Each structure stands twice: as C-alpha cells, then as structure tokens.
Structure 1
C-alpha cells in the first residue's frame, strides 16, 4: 500500500509546489497579492523541495531572494541528510 501512496503523494506535493511558485511569479508580474514566502517554504518542508528548485529554475523566481534561498537550501540539506540516514539505517 505504501509503495503506491508515497510516490503519488511525492508527485502531488511537488506538482502543487510548482503551481504555487508559478502563481506567485504571475502575481508578482501583475502586481497582485503574493503567496507568503513561509507558505512556499512549508511546501518544500512537506516534500516539495525538488519542485521548488525546479520551479525556481523554470520561472526564474526566488532564486536570489534572501533569506528565502538560504532557507530552501537548508531544508533541502536536512531532507537529504534524513534520506541518507534512513538508507544507511
């Protein structure tokens, strides 16, 4: 059961993260209300880090914004460390 649910959830959170980054970029261009950076970071924390990096690259959005960029990199490093730890364990 988990072999099906986990990959689907991973794809879903990353797709949602990409959509949110795109929407935030469009809102920035149009001068509309933006998605809070904390919300974008929460999506990354929930597993949307690959989607956040991909969206940043594709849309050229939030790639140089500090401290957002550093916080996203810290989240990615912690997640990678956890994955390596679980793989070794």
Structure 2
C-alpha cells in the first residue's frame, strides 16, 4: 500500500501571504473586467465627444440652410408655406421624440423604437433629428442607426425634389 503524498509546498510564508497568493487570480479577473469596462466606457465617451464636438457644426449648418431655403422658397411662391410648416412641425416633434428617448435611456425606462425615429425623419422631421443628434448627443455614435438615418434623409429630399420638379407640390398652393 503506497501513500502518495501531495507535493510539498513552502509553508514558510504566513497564512496571510498564502491567502493573498490565492486571491489575485480572482481579484485580477475582476480588476481586468473593471479595467476593460473602463476602457469601453472611455472609448464611448471619446467617440461621443468626437461626434459631438468635431462634426457638430456642419450638420447644424445644413439644418439651418435647409430650413431657411424652405422658408425662402415659400416666400418666393416656389413652395407652399404648408410644406415649410410641415418640415418645421415634424422637426420639432422629432426633436421632442429624441429628447424623450434620451431621457428614457438615462433612466432605464421604456425606449422609443428606432423605426419610429426613422419614420419621423423620413416624413420630414430629419432636420429636427439631426439637430437632436448633435445637441442632445443621442443616437449620434451607433453606425447602423446613422446609416439608416442618412438613407431616410436622402429619400425624403428625393421625394421633395421630385414633387417640386413634376409640379406635384403645386396642388398644395
């Protein structure tokens, strides 16, 4: 009958040292997790700050030029005031929808569907959406959302341009 003894370890260290030697794998995993989470959070913050500060002037300028152009076209009787009013009203409603969604996101409450935000933008609220993305810094980093958003902008402007070119917009005058 052979008794195998476990490999002898150096017990010269105090019990506290042994406990400390056993703990680091667990604490280092937790620490690595915290460090990783901090890196992700810092990365998001940097992206958000970059998106908000680096490129915010151009989209806001685009919104102001577009809305001024609509109002100017309406004053020149090239476009019905109702179309300019529709864009202004939908932009305000869309901005409010983004603000509500941002508030819900902060509080962990029920969120507005992305498809609803896109539909509002497609219907003509894209200037308000673009303004909200830059001022509220909401939905300004997620690439898939922004790609669909810009498709709604192009689609909306294409429909507006087509209706002006074909004279379909004249029935609203």
What is the TM-score normalised by the length of structure 2?
Answer: 0.46
Tell whether 2:18 aligns with 1:18. no
Please tell me whether residue 75 in structure 1 is matched to residue 148 in structure 2: no
What is the alpha-carbon distance in structure 2 between the residues aligned to residue 19 and residue 58 of structure 1? 12
Of the two structures, which has the highest relative contact order with CA contacts closer than 8 Å and spacing of 6 or more? 1
Q: Distance in 1 between matches of 2:81 and 2:158?
A: 24
Q: Deviations over 1:30-73 (max 9, x none)?
A: 11000000000000010011111100000000011131110001
Alignment correspondent of 1:50: 127
Structure number with larger C-alpha Rg: 2
What is the total number of aligned residue pairs between the two structures?
88
Correspondence 1:3-42 to 2 at 5 A: 3-42=80-119
RMSD (Å) for aligned C-alpha atoms? 1.9
SS at the partner of 2:155?
Answer: helix
Rounded to whole Å, the distance in 2 between the matches of 1:3 and 1:84 is: 14
Q: What is the aligned counterpart of 1:59 among 119, 124, 136? A: 136
Mean Cα deviation higher: 72-81 or 57-66: 72-81
Moved more, 29-38 or 60-69: 60-69
Structure 1 unaligned regions, length at least 5: none
Shift of 1:83: 4.2
1:16 is displaced (CA, Å) by 0.1
Secondary structure of the residue aligned to 1:9 is helix
List runs of 5+ in structure 2 lacking aligned partners.
1-78, 167-173
